Amino acid sequence: MKELPRLLAAYTPSFRAEMQAGLSELQDAESVLARAALLPEPVRNLLDVLLLSGLPGEAVDPNHRARIDTEGLELWRGGFLLPRTLPSRGSTIDPRYYAASCRLHPALVARRPLAELLRAPAEEPRPSWPPGDARSDAVVVSAAVEAGPPTLTQHGLPRKDQRERLLAQLGPDTERWELALRLARATGLARPVGGRLEGFPEARPRRLTDPTVLLPPELQSAGRTLLKLVHEDWLELSAIAAVLEQHAPDLANQAALERVADAYHRVAVIEASRDATGVVALRTHRTHHEMPPGFLLTPDLDILVGAAELQGPDYGRLCRMAPYLEGDRVHRHRLTRQGVAADLAVGNQDPLDFLGKFSRTGVPLSVQQSVEQWARAAERVSIRTGVTIVEEDGELRRVDRGPAGRVIDYAQADPPPASFRARGMRIEVPFGKDPLTLRGTLARVATLCGVKDEAWQYQISARRVRDPDTLLERLRELHDGPQLPAALEVSVLAANGLEAVRSEDALLLHLPLEAAEALRRDEVIGPLIDRRVSPTQVLVSRTDMETVRARLHALGVSLS
């Protein structure tokens, strides 16, 4: 901590004389951790409660002020508690007056809270499989969302009636499917697009960075607490609950910890040992041996697949072709006419090849006949190009040379010329450079408006597509210009689940020209005024203005 020397220099001489650690010890992370383990038990427990309720270096929850005032003197003396802000130069402070605005020493991030109280069980528990794998359930939910996208409210949540109807079709265990839906949204398998929640079951899930987002609001405090306590050694859940009940009852209780542990086990955040009542012991998750990909396909169109037997895009495609019926550790799906049609509609052409690739029992004849029949019924109309057709007396006939007009030769060895140009939200395609391949591509990103000046006129209105990256690359190849227009690229990304733009209140500061560069190098406000608009203009977040104002005043710089 660069500000520690100045912070300690501002402590009143009487308080510095009482301190149990010097500057060198406070700057040594190993010394901080070692001294924390040697604190008297009541003081050490208070330190761990503060660690469980927040992060070192950040503001301590003001709700703990009363306890800090009565029990925290040793934490101030040992340098474990520090004021949040630096005082003005020349000022002296008693740090205990900062109980409502304090932080924990950043080195405590490496301390394991309540480590001295939580012991490993006498006998090492045996890992158990969770009742269901939420990662597989999330793909199932994503396929259901794709088949019937629910409308989103102004807060970005699915309408209650549509969400209940969506989850009810998957089974009666509402909590299980609510967890799966939250996981699908957190990992990108379900994303908001144009006021609806769209499913992307064949997408590769994003890494889950914060498991607490999967929990309902009333369990998030318990979720954060449990994540800070669990580590590579086994801990009994009942022992964790007993310790927290004694030292931090406001953070979590037994019932909340049991629900959180069950959710984390299903998501593979933790490894757990279970009995009939639920999780009894837990530790950080360790990688299990995964089974080779595959499933069982029966002659009556049923498919049985266990957790982790089919992952990623392959399981997403299976969920589309064969909707989920039932099952926890082993899911039962059934091939349907609508599922095969949906598989063909997104661009796949090999449903039988896909089934044969993963089926451990091959493709039974009855299944092959059903899928072939459904595929023929769902085939799209194909247009054969390269011929000229004219109408005479109500009849269509092929001729060698048609009437004069625009001609695109699809029979030549090289692809026909194709290009477009964009102006604002409009796209123009000149006659002669508009083969079916180009028009088919533009149909996914724009709406045809008509003809003007021998060019097709389109209005940009992108739609959800299976592979937006490939589509954008194709558009770059076809665009008549050095770069793809920004409006077109952003609209494609937005239609396929682009993260929302966030706003933040900020002020524009005009720095004195002579001191602008020096102020940017200042150790206190330099990082806060780093976002520059011009050499003398910077943007400062409104939440940082109090610190900036105080620092400028301390430096003798006026702020009007």
Backbone φ and ψ for 247, nearest 5 degrees, come out as -110, -25
- What pLDDT is stored for residue 391 in this prediction? 67
Q: Which residue has the higher pLDDT, 477 or 466?
A: 477
- For 332, the 3-state DSSP assignment is strand
Q: What is d(CA 22, CA 44) in angstroms, rounded to the nearest whole number?
A: 20
94 Cβ contact partners less than 8 Å away, ≥ 6 residues apart? 11, 12, 15
Domain boundaries, the chain: 4-110, 134-199, 211-284, 296-378, 414-495, 506-555
- In CATH, what number does 211-284 get? 1.10.10.10
**Per-residue model confidence as pLDDT tens digits over 413-440:** 466 788 899 888 999 998 878 887 888 8
CB 199 within 8 A of CB 143: yes
**The tokens of 330 are what?**
């082993």
Supply 431's token pair.
Answer: 């006659």
Q: Using pLDDT thresholds of 50, 70 and 90, give the confidence band for residue 387.
A: low
pLDDT at 249 over 80: yes
Quote the percentage of the chain above a pLDDT of 90. Answer: 51
Query: Under 8 Å CB-to-CB from 101, ≥6 apart: which residues?
Result: 59, 62, 83, 84, 85
At 89, the pLDDT band (50, 70, 90 cuts) reads: confident
> Between 400 and 58, where is the model more confident?
58
Q: Give the contacts of 188 (CB within 8 A, at least 6 positions apart).
A: 200, 203, 205, 206, 497
Q: State the DSSP code for 347.
A: T
Span 38-58, mean pLDDT? Answer: 90
Please check the confidence at residue 403 and state whether its pLDDT lies above 50: no
Q: What is the pLDDT of residues 145-164, one digit of tens each?
A: 999 999 999 888 899 999 99
Looking at residue 383, its pLDDT comes to 46
